[in-house]
Amino acid sequence: MKNLESKTPVLNDLIRLNNNRIAGYEQAIKHVDGATHLQSVFHNQIVQSYGFITALEEAIENTGGHVDMDQSTIEGKIFRSWMDMKTFFAKDDRKAILESCVDGENTIYQAYQEASTMEELPSDTQFLINQQKQELRVANHTILQLYKAEESV
């Protein structure tokens, strides 16, 4: 059990990244006032991350680990501040917001990619990480398509 508990930091990291994702999309929703389609997509990303967090917390508890209650990272706070500044100075707010979202989606996907290579994790936890990673790939594609559409306008 001790070996499994030592692997929970990666799951706590994924929880933190999902919390950062939620906060980032909450900021993005505020900045795309009137763009209900974007707000809806961003809301779906938030709901998705809440579901991911719940499943990751269960996986941690199943390994005998403890969920770290420090739910955001310095990087996440910096990213949200950067998004605020970038949209403030950008001529096209939607494009800048979507670019930030693409960057954020790439970051979380990469973290899941790295976590999925940890062979020491139990098979059910690996399955969970891979399942969430695949869902993130679809979400990443959605945001990228929105960015490309905004870029061509």
Of 3, 13, 1, which is closest to residue 116 (Cα–Cα)? Answer: 13
Which domain CATH number covers 29?
A: 1.20.1260.10
Side-chain-side CA neighbours of 47 within 13 Å: the count stands at 6
Give residue 117's domain range. 2-151
Cβ–Cβ < 8 Å for 104, 77: no
Give the Cβ contact number of residue 144 at 10 Å.
15
Q: Give residue 121's pLDDT band: very low, low, confident or very high (50, 70, 90).
A: confident
Side-chain-side CA neighbours of 10 within 13 Å: the count stands at 22
Counting every residue written for the chain, the total comes to 153
- List, for residues 49-101, the tens digit of each pLDDT value: 999 999 999 999 887 788 887 655 555 555 555 555 455 545 558 888 899 89
Cβ–Cβ < 8 Å for 129, 121: yes
Of 64, 66, 67, 58, which is closest to residue 2 (Cα–Cα)? Answer: 64
The total domain count for the chain is 1
- List, for residues 1-36, the tens digit of each pLDDT value: 445 555 688 899 899 999 989 988 998 898 888 889
Question: Residue 83 has which token pair?
Answer: 């998004």
Q: Is 45 helix (H, G, I), strand (E, B) or coil?
A: helix
Return the higher-pLDDT residue of 28 and 132: 132
pTM given for the model: 0.85
d(CA 53, CA 101): 19
DSSP 64: T
Question: Residue 117 has which token pair?
Answer: 């290579």
At residue 112, does pLDDT exceed 90? yes
Q: What is the pLDDT of residue 27?
A: 86
